[in-house]
Structure 1
Amino acid sequence: MDLPRFAPMLATPGRLPSAAVDERWAYEVKYDGQRTVVYLPGDGTVLLRSRSGADITAAYPDLAPLGTALGNTAAVLDGEIVVFDDAGRSDFERLQSRMGLAGAPAKAARMARLVPAHLILFDVPLLGTGPLASLPYTERRTALESLGLTGTHWSTPAFIAGHGERALEATRAAGLEGLIAKRLDSAYEPGVRSRAWIKIRHLRTADVVVGGWLPGHGRLSDLPGALLLGERRGGGLRHIGNVGTGWSDSERSTLAGLLHGAASADCPFTPPPAVPGARWVLPRLVGEVAYATRTRAGLLRHPSWHRLRPDLTPEDLDTRTS
């Protein structure tokens, strides 16, 4: 059976819906993984496509048994491929060892044994011969849950209707990435970044030392396009990533003046990061950044500049934790 292609519906970053409309929304845990549309033609095979539409089936041989999970019933499912850490949280860094292996089946099979993948299912835009995309979220979820898709390598986690504040706090306490809020009456809009789906991330903050910068492009070539961030460890400065968002035009200009005034020929990081074109500065500027998570190597994921911290010196950060 030839199944129609579906581009995944996308969520818009935003805030938790207000208490006045809370009961009109469903809340799902936000996972940090690889978005995937799953095609089950009902002949025992499975086809996985990434958000871009690329065929990634061969990268995940551990998900091949899903092809027989619904017998001869055809379906198109929407979900997220994740790898869990030892605490049961999705770990994007571990998942990266599974990504990009569609052209290397032998390595993909080996990695499937070492780093097993898990498919989180949360929508069904087509079931049998009937498209469900135009139906409300609640009806699609009922159809999805009726399929009983729970196995070693896939599951259909529950959602809750209403109680958004409680759900957000529960995910924060559990160390999860956040929530996806979905309007109960919303249709499935293929390829659309919709306000009917809102992603709410928990962000952490860190006090950091600026050790260098990368210039912007074009007319911004004399202004910072990104800052190279470090943490003080034992008197030294360790690179923990770069930030290139979160500031206003006036803040960018202020930072440019401070960076030019602190220019240095020497890299302040130990060990020096491999960042072509970096311009080094004396490590005396302290700022605060917001970020989603850290990698096991300590790098900040999704950092965003928050503010300067003129009340702090780099030495103040030696014993501080983020």
Structure 2
Amino acid sequence: MVSLPRIAPMLATPGRLPPPATEDQWGAEAKQDGQRAIVYLPGDGKVVLRSRSGADITAAYPELSALGDALGRPAVLDGEIVALDGQGRSDFERLQSRMGLVGSPAKAARMSEIVPAHLVLFDVVHLDGSSLIKLPYAERRTILEGLGLGGASGRSWSTPAAVVGHAAQALETTRTAGVEGIILKRLTSVYEPGVRSPAWIKIRNILVADVIVGGWVPGHGRLTGLPGALLVGERHEGALRYAGSVGTGWTQRERATLAELLQIAASAECPFGTAPPVAGARWVLPRLVGEVRYTTRTRAGLLRQPSWHRLRPDLAPDDIA
């Protein structure tokens, strides 16, 4: 059994597509919406999974224990634990039922039958007693794909291929498929443990929705008297259905403008068909329309990772279906 070094995961920075002339310098991988994991395989059949923070999460995912015997070599791999929906896409909402079960092995075993976890492998940083972090990404990918950890039937792990030279096409493919986005990785880049590096670029497929403001939550500290978050909704079968809480995306000036508009529209009654369980909420008449950006929706219709984009004074609430 080989002693394995603890390695913090390399992180990506938000960015944009590279110019077409330099696309061939980047590899594109689908961005997974799950729990990052560094996988330690000592070579004796054991598997240790550590989260981005370094916490041991092995017990939460018993179905991944077979990976050690499947590889049969000492290695440290990088990947993402996901739960797949009916279309084979990562679904963070499903995975949440599996996270946090480290201290409940029996429940984790039961849940593995109901919501099976899947490990998407995308890097190898240590193999057979040798560090690979100084090798270029393209070479590490070749080594990874040669380990035989593909997505065979019945396996709880896979090694999806990376696309080289077609970043824009890869992003459009993920958008059409309803996937969150892509991670671009410079082919010549080394692995930088614990570093948020511009050599890895994450690009999300951002969606846009017009929403109606139905309430707000006051901010604290320097935001006292200003909105800390807006409670927004969409019309559904004649009622205003809660769509989520938006707490980012404003400049200080825009936040002050919104505060004035919210005070004018103040109401004692909740405008949502079903009041959202938000502590300290203040209600307003549902007449302010805004545009928000978000990544995906939960099965309940809530916006995930919403960010305020702008007011829409050109739209009336009745225009929002």
1-side partners of 2:225 and 2:22: how far apart?
46
The 8 Å contact of residues 31 and 202 in structure 2, kept in 1 or not, is answered as: yes
2-side partners of 1:45 and 1:69: how far apart?
10
Post-superposition Cα deviations, 1:239-281, rounded to whole Å, max 9, x if no partner, equal 1111111111221111111011111121111211111111111
User: 1:146-157 counterparts in 2 under 5 A?
Assistant: 146-150=146-150, 151=152, 152-157=155-160
Specify the alignment match of 2:78 in structure 1: 78
The answer to whether structure 1 residue 301 and structure 2 residue 308 are counterparts is no
- The CA RMSD measured in Å over matched residues stands at 1.0
1-side partners of 2:267 and 2:167: how far apart?
49
Specify the alignment match of 1:116 in structure 2: 116
1-side partners of 2:314 and 2:202: how far apart?
33
Specify the alignment match of 1:284 in structure 2: 287
The 8 Å contact of residues 120 and 157 in structure 2, kept in 1 or not, is answered as: yes
2-side partners of 1:133 and 1:20: how far apart?
28
The 8 Å contact of residues 229 and 247 in structure 2, kept in 1 or not, is answered as: yes
* Amino acid in the other structure paired with 1:24: Q
User: 1:27-66 counterparts in 2 under 5 A?
Assistant: 27-66=28-67
Unaligned runs of 5+ in 1: none
Q: Which moved more, 1:124-133 or 1:306-315?
A: 306-315
Specify the alignment match of 1:169 in structure 2: 172
Post-superposition Cα deviations, 1:124-154, rounded to whole Å, max 9, x if no partner, equal 1101110000110011111111101124100
TM superposition shift of 1:64: 0.5
Q: How many residues align?
A: 317
TM superposition shift of 1:11: 0.5
TM superposition shift of 1:56: 0.6
Query: Secondary structure of 1:69's match?
Result: helix
TM superposition shift of 1:163: 1.1
* Amino acid in the other structure paired with 2:231: L
TM superposition shift of 1:217: 1.7
Query: Secondary structure of 1:165's match?
Result: helix
1-side partners of 2:294 and 2:284: how far apart?
23
The answer to whether structure 1 residue 202 and structure 2 residue 205 are counterparts is yes
Specify the alignment match of 2:221 in structure 1: 218
2-side partners of 1:170 and 1:229: how far apart?
30
Q: Which moved more, 1:217-226 or 1:34-43?
A: 217-226
1-side partners of 2:274 and 2:176: how far apart?
34
1-side partners of 2:255 and 2:279: how far apart?
21
Specify the alignment match of 1:257 in structure 2: 260
* Amino acid in the other structure paired with 1:189: E
TM superposition shift of 1:20: 2.6
TM superposition shift of 1:46: 0.1
Query: Secondary structure of 2:188's match?
Result: coil
Unaligned runs of 5+ in 2: none
2-side partners of 1:31 and 1:70: how far apart?
23
Structure 2 length-normalised TM? 0.97
TM superposition shift of 1:224: 1.1
Q: Which moved more, 1:40-49 or 1:241-250?
A: 241-250
Specify the alignment match of 2:106 in structure 1: 106
TM superposition shift of 1:219: 2.3
Query: Secondary structure of 1:111's match?
Result: helix
Runs of 4+ in 1 over 6 A off after TM superposition: none
Post-superposition Cα deviations, 1:48-72, rounded to whole Å, max 9, x if no partner, equal 001111111000001010011122x
2-side partners of 1:220 and 1:291: how far apart?
23
* Amino acid in the other structure paired with 2:141: R
Structure 1 length-normalised TM? 0.96
TM superposition shift of 1:175: 1.3
2-side partners of 1:5 and 1:238: how far apart?
47
